[in-house]
Chain A
Amino acid sequence: MKDTVVEKLTARFSESIEFINEYRGELTVVLKKKAIVDVCRFLHDDDELHFDSLRDLLGADYYRPDDRYEVVYNLFSLKNKFRLRLKVRIDESDLHVLSVTSVWSGANWQEREAYDMFGIVFDDHPDLRRMYMPEEFEHHPLRKDFPLMGIPGSLALPRK
């Protein structure tokens, strides 16, 4: 199955793939961020691959000068019992990436979570609001430069 996935992806999206990595039987494909929806659509719709399940979608902050953030997509094909990980790197200067809610509607809340925690903006998302923090909160708490105890006064307590 692994070879089929790699073959099909490289045949169609060779210029969109940064690199492909395999470690301990886990296949990871790092993509250019413009291609993410096309690749996901292809993986989902292809009859042979049939990645019908988005098992997880998450943001990550590597706190490095270039491509500071990553969005990770863990896919699973129920038909083939095969897992695939996609990654997209996002630079601090442009925090936008296309939403994959048109492919898997389950990505809705997970993209909201990544937006809430890291400030990654998912374009074309149907309802991009904060997931956990109050709507008026101005920071993104899972960023590495956010202090553990928060910013004093940023979260209101009720009047005593």
Chain B
Amino acid sequence: MGMNSATEGFLTTRLDDIAGWARKNSLWPMPMGISCCAIEMMSFAGPRYDVARFGSEAFRFSPRQSDLMIVAGTVTYKMSHVVRKIYDQMPDPKWVIAMGACTSTGGMYRSYSVVQGIDLFVPVDVYVAGCPPRPDNLLKGLMEIQKKIERGEKPGQREKIYIEEHA
């Protein structure tokens, strides 16, 4: 992080660095749990996988208090307007994880009613593969977002991250 420790009891750093350090360790997720992936997302938040280790245990059910949207489930055209509205209500900087096959690509629902990937209407930072992904993979996705913040990236900037199923 580039902090210079000092024996006099203070340290110097850049404001961006310290703000980024604070942000990356307190990502408050908006649980956009739409279908079965949400069950794995709950497990990811629960004691076994324990996302509190990464400072993201405070799931906020209000978009105004969250800065990471985890879209977990099949997004239909009808639901897409809701997802977009919630994304619009989140304060900047905001991040999006597309969790699972349906969210990323439409998955097995190759059908008139299902949006074939949420990146058609919302910018996505990390895609997590799996049907559903294991909670560890979602943790990996969260850690990738943390790395992005640490590197000082802005949401939607740089390349997308794809977490493979057996990562």
- Chain A positions within 8 Å of B, measured between CB atoms, are 132-134, 141, 146-151, 155-160
Contacts and interface: CB of A to CB of B under 8 A. Distances in A.
Contact of B115 (A132, A157, A160): A157
Given A134-B78, A155-B77, A157-B77, A149 B121 contact: no
A160 B120 contact: yes
Given A147-B112, A149-B110, A158-B121, 7 more contacts: A132-B78, A133-B78, A134-B77, A141-B112, A150-B113, A157-B80, A160-B120
Contacts, number: 42
B121 A157 contact: yes
B81 interface: yes
A73 B146 CA distance: 55
A51 to B, nearest CB: 34
A149 B110 CA distance: 7
20 contacts: A132-B113, A134-B78, A141-B112, A141-B113, A148-B112, A149-B110, A149-B111, A149-B112, A150-B113, A151-B112, A155-B77, A155-B112, A157-B120, A158-B83, A158-B84, A158-B122, A159-B84, A160-B121, A160-B122, A160-B123
Contact of B77 (A146, A149, A156, A160): A156
Contacts of B80: 157-158
A147 B78 CA distance: 18
Contacts of A151: 112
Counting chain B CB atoms within 10 Å of each CB, which of A133, A147, A148, A158 scores highest?
A158
Interface string B106-118: 0000111101000
B62 to A, nearest CB: 20
B20 to A, nearest CB: 27
B83 to A, nearest CB: 8
Nearest to A160: B121
Nearest to A154: B112
Contacts of A133: 78, 113
A148 B109 CA distance: 10
A147 B113 CA distance: 11
A146 B112 contact: yes
A147 B115 CA distance: 15
Nearest to A151: B112
Contacts of A150: 111-113
